[in-house]
Amino acid sequence: MYPRKTLDIPFAKIFKNILFNKDKEGARFEQEGYLACFSVRSGFDLLINSLGLAPEHKILMSEVNIKGMVDVVEANHKSIQLISLDDDLDIDADIDEYLDENTKLVVIAQLFGGYKNIDALIQKFQAKGVFVVEDLSQAYQGNLKRHSPYCDAAFYSFGPLKTASLVGGGIVYLKDKALLKRMQQALLSYPKQAELTYVSKVIKFYLFHLLLHKQVYSLISRLLGDKLTSVVNRLSQTNSGPFDIESVRLQPCSSLKRMLIEKELPVELQGENKYESLIKQLDSHISFVNKSYAHQKYTKDESTHFWLFAVRSQNSAALMNALRLQGFDAFDRTNLLLIHQDAEKANTAGKLADLVYLPCLKKMNQKSLVKMAETINRLA
């Protein structure tokens, strides 16, 4: 059984950094406009407070988002207005319908690891006086320059399930250096994450990583049966219980901060890209969320390097079960995304309900890719 996802974590490098490295000077990192944070949620909280938003000010967010980001907005007692998405999870309406004099901040997320050029959209918001954040938490591709040159801020996440993960931490890019300075000063007033807490988290995910080897995962799937999904979800969680804003008001510990600063240097993502191989095997009638991303021009190293890959199916349960019988742990929902919607915008539920997420892994051989594609072509 191929697991639904593997962890992209350089454990040897992390343990070496914890044990041997000295503090790294971050002057250049900060001069480039970057801030190393405990998490993206921590950076988002800092941004909201450093912008000086009034109680009546509203924050625009796409109606598909990470629950933790919504939690941060609500903890700061700010109103959320949701942006409707089309079938490809892109903004599908004229932005004017979302704007009024109280709209001050918008967060636009690049979903599933694909990247769509949103320069024109950003400029439309900025023309109305709105501060624009491009959220690339799911779209890091080996460098911190992937965001639009027009955005006011950008988020990059290195949590346990992300690409090139550090088992935690986030980086905020800010165009306004005065705003960066205010956020730096606020961050320094926070307590520092305990080094031991970070180390224990790394060890937990190292053990989880061992369970995701194909042979071990196959045995676990046979033992757990229908309980597999709930167990995997619990093991992959980094937070449990109700959200407390104080839990993200921390500085990253010294070892994590060093590694975040090192992210300023571009790196080539390791492993062969299998998404293009899978796409070539899919029939033309197959619809997948990332389809509009797949035909864009990327650099050689980042082309269609999706974080999650999902196909649409009129019978998602049947497709998911068929893939599992073939040895692919596909799944039909993810606790990574939250559908946060009001009564008038209930359309996104249907857009996500028919998705099946595929275990398109770097170690998967061509024979397995063809086998998976044949099942999708027959049932999707």
C-alpha–C-alpha distance, residues 304 and 348, integer Å:
24
Residue 64 near residue 83 (C-beta atoms within 8 A): no
Q: What is the pLDDT of residue 334?
A: 62
Q: Smallest Cα–Cα separation from 232: which of 311, 140, 306, 333?
A: 333
Q: What end-to-end distance do the CA atoms of the chain give, in Å?
A: 20
Q: What is the pLDDT of residue 290?
A: 61
> Is the pTM here over 0.95, yes or no?
no
Tell me the CATH architecture of domain 275-379. Alpha-Beta Complex (3.90)
User: For the segment 73-111, what is each residue's pLDDT rounded down to a tens digit?
Assistant: 999 999 888 887 766 666 766 788 888 889 999 999 888
Between the alpha carbon of residue 258 and those of residues 107, 353, 378, the distances in Å are 27, 40, 49
Tell me the CATH architecture of domain 11-188. 3-Layer(aba) Sandwich (3.40)
Mean per-residue pLDDT pooled into runs of 10, the chain (380 residues)? 88 90 74 95 97 91 82 91 72 79 92 82 93 92 90 96 92 97 97 96 94 91 85 76 92 95 81 73 80 48 61 88 92 58 49 80 87 92
Q: Smallest Cα–Cα separation from 69: which of 57, 58, 80?
A: 80
Q: Which residues contact 250 (CB under 8 A, 6 or more apart)?
A: 38, 42, 190, 191, 192, 193
Q: What is the pLDDT of residue 298?
A: 43
Q: What is the pLDDT of residue 274?
A: 73
Q: Which residues contact 193 (CB under 8 A, 6 or more apart)?
A: 38, 250, 251, 252, 253, 256
SS3 letters across the chain: CECCCCCCCCHHHHHHHHHHCCCCCCHHHHHCCEEEECCHHHHHHHHHHHCCCCCCCEEEEECEECHHHHHHHHHCCCEEEEECECCCCCECCCHHHHCCCCEEEEEEECCCCCCCCCHHHHHHHHHCCCEEEEECCCCCCCCCCCCCCCCCEEEEECCCCCCCCCCCCEEEEECCHHHHHHHHHHHHCCCECCHHHHHHHHHHHHHHHHHCCHHHHHHHHHHHHHHHHHHHHHHHCCCCCCCCHHHCCCECCHHHHHHHHHCCCCCCCCCCCCHHHHHHHCCCCCCECCHHHHCCCCCCCCCCCCCCCEEECCCHHHHHHHHHHCCECCECCCCCCEECCCCCCCCHHHHHHCEEECCCCCCCCHHHHHHHHHHHHHHC
Q: What is the pLDDT of residue 246?
A: 96
Q: What is the pLDDT of residue 97?
A: 82
C-alpha–C-alpha distance, residues 187 and 365, integer Å:
46
Q: What is the pLDDT of residue 174?
A: 97
Q: What is the pLDDT of residue 270?
A: 64
Which two structure tokens, joined as six digits, stand for 140? 């890091």
Helix (H) or strand (E) holding 199: helix 195-211
Q: What is the pLDDT of residue 245?
A: 95
Parse the chain into domains and list their residue ranges: 11-188, 275-379
Specify burial of residue 330 (Cβ count, 10 A radius: 0-12, 13-18, 19+): buried
Residue 73 near residue 51 (C-beta atoms within 8 A): no
